[in-house]
Amino acid sequence: MVRALGLVNRLDGVDLCILARGGGSRDDLAVFNREAVCRALAAVRVPTISAIGHETDVSFTDLVADVRAATPSAAAELAVPDGDALRAGVHALGLRLAQALDRGTRLGRERLARTADRLEYLLQQRLEAPRRDLGRLAAQLDALSPLKVLERGYGVASDAEGRVLRRVADFPPGLPFTLRVADGLVAARAEGAS
């Protein structure tokens, strides 16, 4: 028994060690109360289940093992989970995972929407100042436009070559010129300066 328990640690791929024996007399079960067997069971590195005798029988190996099973069949049931219960557990975990993912993506969408709103507001603010400045500059430029000056009652005189006549000396008597006013051109002739 001690040698067999010592082999467990040398085997690859062992997940569990079950030490089991069906019912019998006290003498038949005495080996499971020996110190050497108990020490060998305690040295096993994988989880252990002890299932010695019947439900009423208790041995020292039952006290040393990680889990005590009342019978060898109960040990097998402990070692292999119920398939329906396992499927139900996996299903419940799947539902919890789906709910957590949904909650996480919903929170992400909400944060993204809030961020988009803030970005839109900041962009509007960033564009509004240049828009106001552009409007103000356009109004100033419009006020300085020569056409606007003409609308206020002024005129621009030019000779036959299109040169602007600015001074009295530019208007010798008899000079034909054109006078541009707000709504068109007027043909004119200089008669003399005053």
pLDDT digits (tens, 9 = 90+) for 151-188: 777 889 999 999 999 888 898 999 999 999 888 999 99
Reported pTM? 0.44
Q: Are strands 176-181 and 184-189 parallel, antiparallel or unpaired?
A: antiparallel
Q: What is the pLDDT of residues 40-73, one digit of tens each?
A: 999 999 999 999 877 777 889 989 999 999 888 8
Mean pLDDT of 18-39: 86
Rounded CA gap, 135 and 132, in Å? 5
> Is 64 inside a domain boundary?
yes
pLDDT band at residue 129 under the 50/70/90 scheme: confident
**What secondary structure letter does DSSP report for 168?**
G
Q: Are 21 and 52 in contact (CB under 8 A)?
A: yes
Other beta carbons within 10 Å of 5 = 21
Q: What is the DSSP letter of 138?
A: H
| Residue-number span of the structural domain to which 62 is assigned | 2-79
Query: Which amino acid, 27?
Result: D
Domain end position, chosen among 40, 61, 79: 79
How many domains is the chain built from?
2
pLDDT > 80? residue 24: no
